[in-house]
Amino acid sequence: MEKISLHPDTINEVKEKIDLVEIVSDYVVLQKKGREFSGLCPFHDEKSPSFTVSPTKQLYYCFGCGAGGGAIKFLMDINKQSFKEVVLNLAHRYQIPVKSLAPEQQKEIQKQISLREQLYEILAVACNFYQHSLRQKEGEEALQYLIENRELSEETIQEFKLGYAPNNWETLYNYLVEIKNYPVMLVAQAGLIKERNKGDGYIDYFRNRLMIPIMDKEGRVIAFGARSLDDSLPKYLNSPDTELFSKSRTLFALDKAKKTIVKEDKAIVVEGYFDAIALHRYNIKNAVAVLGTALTESHVKLLSRYTESKEIIVNFDADKAGLKATERAIKEVENLIYAGQMKLKVVNIPDGKDADEFLATGKEATEKYLTLMENAPLWLDWQIQQIVNTRNLQESADFELAFQSIVRLLKKISKDSTKDYYLSACAELLSRGRSKFNNLNSQEFKKIYQSLQTATKTYNQNKKSRNVSSYLSKTSENIKIEEAEFLILLIYIHTPRYREEIVDLLDQKDLVFTHKPYRFLWQQIHSLNIEQLEQDTNNNLLLMLQENMHIPPDMSTTLNPILYPTENISQRLFAPEANVQSAIASLESIKLEKYKQYCQQQIPQLEKENDLQKIHHFYQEIIITEKQLQELKNMRFQTTEI
């Protein structure tokens, strides 16, 4: 792939169509904050969101680790891909024709892109084959199961494209390879056939199973779920992971649920295919199902694209396995829920029923189910109730286990008001549990409350305070130099029309960048063609720096605010001419102050040597320098924290 030279037209078209918020949302749960979006940075571990995305600028930046850039750079960094790999994938995503600089390279590109399209086609044909088989004599048992056992209508069977895999070793293989002439390797890559354990050849991956197509969010078949119709194990079997399918990143029925999730601003996640199908059948269409795995962080990020409130209700089975699955789901997304990036709620249906069974109990079941969802407790309330309900709090060993379990939950809460609420609520629960008469004892409550408070206390030093402390430890002079150099580079990069003036002023005043990261950036800029930079009205310089410059890790925190300015920093660009003059004046003043100090330091030694001529010279230099400093005083750059 590295040998392929993409045509500039293709690269430009990709850049025009790309949506950074959409791209980042595949990896980060984003919440709208004014004009920007924020979330937990995917490039380093953090508990409070410091990662911002600007839709208007199509730029992201993390205040924690300094990562920043545009959509292409984001995908390069997060997927460890080359520039060309990312552009090719984006071209496919946005259905942009790919052009290369040579005809032979064009063939290679088309081969790369057509692989996924061929897999989509093969899976669609297989889906039609399974649907057809369901209506044949061999599929009678499967069809009967759907109609009688699951009480599905013909409309629902058609909507979910349910089918049947015949009870033969090579039926689908013969159809796709021998009749339809699809390459055997592609059919295997689609997860529909597999090599025999002994001997040569292939056999069907699914046999004598009810087939449930798994769609991507666009409604294309990417895999299958299959339920056995005899005693074959496993009871449910998914396609293997393929080029198109990963069960930990895919949710069943999302293609049908996404519009309702947007409309209702919440999603319901259930355990099984038929739970999701039943909910849709009863017109609860914001439901999706996991595929034999816990709810993962990838699932949450996928769902969060469709709900502004980030409300997700987990409705797994209430049996032992279902409760464990719920606990695993909470653990998987713990960093997101503690950071307030999602609102996770949990519902277990009474009497241990799953959603499918509950909805089939009668006419009022749908309304009852919706009420359960409406009153679903937050994940933390659910976990606390589970801890209390599964322990005999009058027994000291059980009480201690419950106490420690609650402490482990509460100590991770960073918001004081939230922690205070739960300290009080948990102290009340534990206190009531200790009483044989289930009465709240004030002394017992206070004792437990204080114990919880002590056990959950944390002394994490505020990161911002550390940063401010470090910042204030710098000398005043160094701060002024860094601020002035920062402002000059910010204006130079983002307002092309002032570049020539900046270069002229720096030359006239004989000023150089002294702060190491800023000196590095200035050198990188001027390794490019200066004349082109001065005529660069479209600001291609910014794109070139963002995509091609390798910033040393120790400089990224310093330089990224210049390359990817936040809304506050961008306000410094509103009066570029005045700001340039002020920054230059500040640097010149510091330079003159240093020269004045040098002159003053020379006089005592010269007085010892009785060198009157040199003494007079330095006194004159001090007078001239002070006059120049006075002239610059009104233009001096005012210190502002960046």
Q: Which of 129-138, 267-276, 293-302 has the lowest mean pLDDT?
A: 293-302
Residue scoring higher pLDDT (594 or 1): 594
pLDDT in tens, 513-558: 888 888 888 888 877 654 455 555 556 677 777 666 777 767 877 8
pLDDT at position 615, please?
83
Judged against a pLDDT cut of 70, whether residue 60 lies above it is answered with: yes
Pairing of strands 343-346, 311-315: parallel
pLDDT at position 476, please?
64
Residues 6+ apart with CB under 8 A from 23: 71, 74, 75
CATH code 3.90.980.10 for 112-244: yes
Residue with tokens 């004989």: 510
Same fold, 112-244 and 249-375: no
Burial of 442 (0-12, 13-18, 19+ CB in 10 A): exposed
Judged against a pLDDT cut of 90, whether residue 639 lies above it is answered with: no
Contact call for residues 418 and 392 (beta carbons, < 8 A): no
pLDDT at position 205, please?
96
Contact call for residues 426 and 452 (beta carbons, < 8 A): yes
CATH of 249-375, one of 3.10.580.10, 3.90.1490.10, 2.60.120.590, 3.40.1360.10: 3.40.1360.10
pLDDT in tens, 558-614: 888 888 777 677 777 878 888 888 888 888 888 888 888 888 888 888 877 778 888
Judged against a pLDDT cut of 50, whether residue 227 lies above it is answered with: yes
Specify the CATH superfamily of domain 8-101.
Zinc finger, CHC2-typedomain (3.90.580.10)
Percent of the chain with pLDDT over 90: 34
Judged against a pLDDT cut of 80, whether residue 2 lies above it is answered with: no
pLDDT in tens, 327-371: 888 888 888 888 878 899 999 887 778 888 899 888 889 999 999
Residue scoring higher pLDDT (320 or 422): 422
Radius of gyration of the chain (CA): 33
Contact call for residues 338 and 297 (beta carbons, < 8 A): no
Residues 6+ apart with CB under 8 A from 31: 37, 38, 39, 49, 310, 341
**Strands annotated E in 490-610:** none
Judged against a pLDDT cut of 60, whether residue 638 lies above it is answered with: no
Nearest partner of 271 among 198, 189, 342, 353, judged by Cα: 353
Pairing of strands 221-228, 209-215: antiparallel
Going from N- to C-terminal start, the domains of the chain cover: 8-101, 112-244, 249-375, 384-456, 472-635
Integer angstrom CA distances of residue 620 from 154, 510, 603, 625, 628 = 101, 21, 12, 9, 12
The 10 Å Cβ neighbour count of residue 74 is: 24
Nearest partner of 445 among 428, 457, 467, judged by Cα: 428
DSSP annotation of 169 reads S
Q: Which of 14-28, 113-127, 420-434, 473-487 has the lowest mean pLDDT?
A: 473-487
Question: Which amino acid, residue 351?
Answer: D
pLDDT at position 278, please?
94
pLDDT in tens, 390-403: 888 888 888 888 99
pLDDT at position 461, please?
38
pLDDT in tens, 430-477: 888 876 555 566 778 888 888 888 888 743 333 344 443 444 444 567
